Amino acid sequence: MTTTFPDISISTERLVLRPFEEADVPALTEMMNDELVTMWTSVPQPYAEADARAWVDELAPAERTGGHGIVFAVSEFLTQRLVGIVHLRNTDWQIRATELSYVVAPWARGEGYASEGSLAVAHWLFHDQKFERLELRTAAANTASQQVAQRIGCISEGVLRNAWIARARTDDGGWAPTRTDLIVWSLLPEDLDGVPDHFADADGFTAYADWN
Give the other-Cβ count within 10 Å of 194's Cβ. Answer: 6
Give bridge partners of residue 175 from the DSSP assignment.
Answer: 169
Q: What is the pLDDT of residue 44?
A: 93
Please give the Cα distance from 22 to 19 (Å, whole number): 10
Q: For strands 82-92 and 97-104, give the pairing.
A: antiparallel
For 63, the enclosing helix (H) or strand (E) is helix 60-65
* In 70-141, alpha helices (H): 113-123
**Collapsed DSSP state (helix, strand, coil) of residue 111:** coil
R_g of the chain, CA atoms, integer Å = 16
Band of the pLDDT at 212, cuts 50, 70, 90?
A: very low
pLDDT above 70 (res 157) = yes
pLDDT classification of 2: cutoffs 50, 70, 90 = confident
Query: Of all helices (H) and strands (E), which one includes residue 128?
Result: none
Half-sphere exposure of 36 (CA within 13 A, CB side): 18
Question: CB neighbours of 120 closer than 8 A, spacing ≥ 6?
Answer: 10, 11, 12, 15, 17
36 confidence band (pLDDT: 50, 70, 90):
very high
Measured distance CA(96)–CA(57) in Å, rounded: 27
pLDDT per position as a tens digit, 143-153: 999 999 999 99
Band of pLDDT at residue 200, cut at 50, 70 and 90: very low
pLDDT at 34: 96
Mean pLDDT of the chain: 92
Quote the pTM value. Answer: 0.91
* 150 Cβ contact partners less than 8 Å away, ≥ 6 residues apart: none
Closest C-alpha to 111, from 74, 143, 137:
74
Which residues fall within 8 angstroms of residue 128, CB to CB, at 6 or more apart? Answer: none
Q: Band the pLDDT of 201: cuts 50, 70, 90.
A: very low
The closest alpha carbon to 35, from 169, 147, 180, 144, belongs to 169
